[in-house]
Amino acid sequence: LNLSFGLAMLDGHGRAQCHLEALLFCVFDKDAGPIVQCADPEGAATAAFQRVGHYLIPDSAVKGRVVSVVCGDNVLMGTPVYIEDTSYSRNCFQFNICMVIDGSQHHEPYRDIAQLLAMSFQTLEVETKLLSNPREGTSIQAILAQLRQQLNDAEECFVCTDSSHAISFKVRRWTPALTKIEDESAVPVPLLDLQKLLDPERRSESPAGRDFQQALPFSLDPALAAVLPLIDGVRSVQTIANDSP
């Protein structure tokens, strides 16, 4: 089984960038609770990380969702996985493959990697019981080491875990094209009553407002909602940019 995916990551300058300080294999131990069972580098499982284990494997209501925890100068990010099966001692196996990221980086793009790692290792566990086998600690650590090295070196990975399973995905490199503003002194003039657009009650009273809202393929995001009140037919583009929150 070859799990192949693609994702996009950007740094603040539009360049693809991926740097994982460490990868941690966190598991819920029936006696000790949440622990870091192994990591790459091997010394990455510090006492500080061990203490936040209950945040990395939280209540089952959070399963499948990306969680992130600030720990000193780093951010720990991963997706908790819960596999229910009567073959386990507690009828459930809980784990999280966590990334350790420098806290100064923009870590939002790593959310995709967190989801991909969770899906890949969940498949491995369901089909091979690799993660729940106490004798496979060395194998898991080796897989984490290969994943981290390949992602940091080439922004892609292809790691064979056995003769029929591999973890494979690539960080696509692309640069967004930003529209150049020709004249910052230009004054945008609204063609609709933007105050009605922002006020649901007033918008529902206006047929034009209802038609415009229905034509939108998306809901207004917070950034756009903050800028719209500044477009009044008087402020220039430069003034709107300066006055934006």
| pLDDT tens track for 70-108 | 888 899 999 999 999 999 988 999 999 999 999 887 777
Mean pLDDT of the chain: 80
- Give 71's strand partners: 74
Q: What is the pLDDT of residues 145-161, one digit of tens each?
A: 999 999 998 878 999 99
**For residue 41, is the peptide bond before it cis, meaning its omega torsion is within 30 degrees of 0?**
yes
Q: What is the mean pLDDT of residues 18-22?
A: 89
Best CA proximity match to 58, nearest among 49, 67, 48, 50: 67
Q: How far apart are CA 154 and CA 22, in angstroms?
A: 16
What are the C-alpha distances in Å from 200 to residues 45, 108, 194?
Answer: 51, 31, 11
Entry field: residues in the chain: 245
Q: Check whether 65 has a pLDDT greater than 50.
A: yes
User: Which helix H or strand E contains 31, and what residues bound it?
Assistant: none
Cβ-contact 79, 115 below 8 angstroms: yes
pLDDT number for residue 159: 95
pLDDT number for residue 90: 84
Cβ-contact 95, 123 below 8 angstroms: no
What are the C-alpha distances in Å from 120 to residues 128, 137, 143, 194?
Answer: 12, 17, 12, 46
Q: What is the pTM of this model?
A: 0.64
pLDDT number for residue 10: 45
pLDDT number for residue 137: 87
Look at residue 24 and give its three-state secondary structure.
Answer: strand
pLDDT number for residue 14: 43
